[in-house]
């Protein structure tokens, strides 16, 4: 059973609209930002790794000479020649 008679009633939240909607809004905003950030982070990382693998294949260099990535974005430590 719906607790509200109309959609306008639902939006008005019995006069408490600003409080209810701002709380829910900030919650969902942060959840969505968290997901987008995780996706962005993963894509960025995969791009960097792919680029590095391709660069090494082109150069025929041994794997062992590579240092691990150590910056948060993974993009900061490119070889200048790349």
Q: Residue 4 interacts with another protein (CB under 8 A)?
A: yes
Q: Which of 36, 59, 66, 75 binds another protein (CB under 8 A)?
A: 66
SS3 for 1?
Answer: coil
- Distance (Å) of CA 76 to CA 16, 52, 70, 73: 48, 13, 9, 7
Q: Residue 58 interacts with another protein (CB under 8 A)?
A: no
| Number of alpha carbons in the 13 Å side-chain half-sphere of residue 64 | 0
SS3 for 5?
Answer: coil
Q: Residue 36 interacts with another protein (CB under 8 A)?
A: no
Cβ–Cβ under 8 Å, residues 82 and 57: no
The nearest distance, CB 58 to another protein, in angstroms, is 13
Residue ranges in contact with another protein by CB under 8 A: 1-4, 10, 13-16, 19-20, 22-24, 26-27, 30-31, 34-35, 38, 41-42, 45-46, 49-50, 52-53, 63-64, 66-70, 74
């Amino acid at each position: 059973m719906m607790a509200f008679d109309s959609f306008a009633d639902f939006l008005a939240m019995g006069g408490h609209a600003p409080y209810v909607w701002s709380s829910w809004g900030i919650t969902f905003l942060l959840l969505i930002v968290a997901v987008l950030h995780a996706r962005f982070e993963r894509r960025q990382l995969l791009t960097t790794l792919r680029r590095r693998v391709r660069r090494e294949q082109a150069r025929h260099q041994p794997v062992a000479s590579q240092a691990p990535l150590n910056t948060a974005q993974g993009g900061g430590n490119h070889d200048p020649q790349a």
